[in-house]
A and B are shown apart, each in its own frame.
Chain A
């Protein structure tokens, strides 16, 4: 059995878990937990390791989708998760400009980890507050050749489009390398 993985990354609460949930054939294995004890709440609200989902391609091939912990304090996990990935998706919450800088920073960090193809998914494009795609491109300082794809992480077809665009980029990269 061959397994390959893609990583879904982005700031905290950008929609990574929903994205994976939309296409995973198993319930997303989420290690997110809300801390209920008041004493612990003072220290931190949640403890998050990672999420993962699975898509069985055929009898010999399985694709795993790994969602990175969005909180900065878990960034030591990012490099581990990025090892051997086929490509990665950077999720951006189009309605929260205060997270754009962090999204860009995460993108640059992952680019430094691995020279694999990636796409940026502009999530929550169904929301009235969402920034238009071209404004987002400027805000995130994305070069024209980088795919910035409108997305609604709860809609399977939109998520499929993002994953397919990433796979097309991977294929194109293979042709040129």
Chain B
């Protein structure tokens, strides 16, 4: 029987639990509405992960982990494009750029990042390809799944709570007029400051996240903190359509004419008179 279905019915954490208990070997392929991911397992242990839109090679992983600077990553992409990850890893260790531990920890963090992203997906077709392994040139790192599942479940709960608080990332943010605290006195992280710097009634949360390369979970987490601190409030983005609330012509693209405005006012006044008379 093929292990396949939809994350709507069987969540990522449930899948990880199954793979762990059954000590499965193979690759889990998940195709979500906007992105796709692959996770590879050997004997129930997570060993590798890749998002479809990322190259997932060692240079990118070490760059993301801060082990290579922009210039080093650029040079490696140009000159070592044909090297496998294993060859490149040896080269970098021998050249003293990174240690073996740096490489293993960076790959581990990269794979876990993918798993935790995947855990927040609520929709997506999945299939488990029994026995399929990553290509030989990739470096794999075995990761026990128990802690990943526990952490994943915790993040899932956090995700659900954050989505409940901030259901739409199409909304924008503005600073509250009378915040309880002065933002300059607050100890914000680099990511929080970056988000704060983009707060503007014209920028939706989705746009701020994209600008700062933040996931939906990360932007919600930061905005939730700012909301709790009373620093910001959620508003409809400036420039978003604000149709006159006729009720009858809600999708009219052109602005209402003076005659339409008068008619709408008349309609509301009739409603007011009727409600008063009840």
Q: Which of B168, B245, B271 contacts A109 (CB 8 A)?
A: B168
Interface size on A, residues (CB 8 A): 41
Residues of B within 8 A of A5 (CB): 247
Which residues of chain A in 155-176 are interfacial with respect to chain B, using CB atoms and an 8 Å cutoff? 156, 160, 163-164, 167-168, 170-171, 173-174
A115 pairs with B243, CB closer than 8 A: yes
Known interface pairs A58-B270, A163-B275; A115-B171 also in contact (CB < 8 Å): no
User: Bound complex: CA of A170 vs CA of B269, how far in Å?
Assistant: 10
User: Bound complex: CA of A36 vs CA of B242, how far in Å?
Assistant: 45
The answer to whether the Cβ of A80 comes within 8 Å of any Cβ in the partner chain is: no
Residues of A within 8 A of B248 (CB): 2-4, 84
Minimum C-beta distance from B160 to chain A (A)? 11
User: Bound complex: CA of A173 vs CA of B264, how far in Å?
Assistant: 11
Residues of B within 8 A of A141 (CB): 227, 233
B245 pairs with A170, CB closer than 8 A: yes
Minimum C-beta distance from B272 to chain A (A)? 5
A57 pairs with B240, CB closer than 8 A: no
User: Bound complex: CA of A57 vs CA of B272, how far in Å?
Assistant: 9
The answer to whether the Cβ of A67 comes within 8 Å of any Cβ in the partner chain is: no
Residues of A within 8 A of B117 (CB): none
Q: Which of B234, B242, B261 contacts A108 (CB 8 A)?
A: B234
A115 pairs with B276, CB closer than 8 A: no
Minimum C-beta distance from A7 to chain B (A)? 11
A102 pairs with B274, CB closer than 8 A: no
Which residues of chain A in 77-136 are interfacial with respect to chain B, using CB atoms and an 8 Å cutoff? 83-87, 101-102, 104-105, 108-109, 111-112, 114-117
Known interface pairs A108-B167, A114-B250, A167-B271; A160-B245 also in contact (CB < 8 Å): no
B268 pairs with A171, CB closer than 8 A: yes
Interface size on B, residues (CB 8 A): 35
Minimum C-beta distance from A177 to chain B (A)? 6
Q: Which of A55, A84, A105 contacts B278 (CB 8 A)?
A: A55
User: Bound complex: CA of A86 vs CA of B265, how far in Å?
Assistant: 12
Known interface pairs A55-B274, A177-B242; A112-B247 also in contact (CB < 8 Å): no
Residues of A within 8 A of B268 (CB): 86, 167, 170-171, 174
The answer to whether the Cβ of A35 comes within 8 Å of any Cβ in the partner chain is: no
A171 pairs with B265, CB closer than 8 A: yes
Residues of A within 8 A of B170 (CB): 112
B167 pairs with A160, CB closer than 8 A: no
The answer to whether the Cβ of B241 comes within 8 Å of any Cβ in the partner chain is: yes
User: Bound complex: CA of A102 vs CA of B164, how far in Å?
Assistant: 7
A105, A141, A170: most-surrounded residue (chain B CB, <10 A)? A170
B245 pairs with A86, CB closer than 8 A: yes
B241 pairs with A115, CB closer than 8 A: yes
For residue B269, which residue of chain A has the nearest CB? A171
A58 pairs with B274, CB closer than 8 A: yes
17 A-B contacts (beta carbon < 8 Å):
A2-B248, A4-B271, A55-B274, A56-B274, A57-B270, A63-B274, A86-B247, A101-B164, A105-B165, A112-B168, A141-B227, A141-B233, A160-B276, A164-B272, A164-B275, A174-B265, A177-B244
Using a CB–CB distance below 8 Å, which chain A residues touch chain B? 2-5, 23, 55-58, 61, 63, 83-87, 101-102, 104-105, 108-109, 111-112, 114-117, 141, 143, 156, 160, 163-164, 167-168, 170-171, 173-174, 177
For the complex of A and B, 3 pairs with smallest distance between CB atoms: A112-B168, A4-B247, A86-B247
Using a CB–CB distance below 8 Å, which chain B residues touch chain A? 164-168, 170-171, 176, 227, 233-234, 236, 240-248, 250, 261, 264-265, 267-272, 274-276, 278
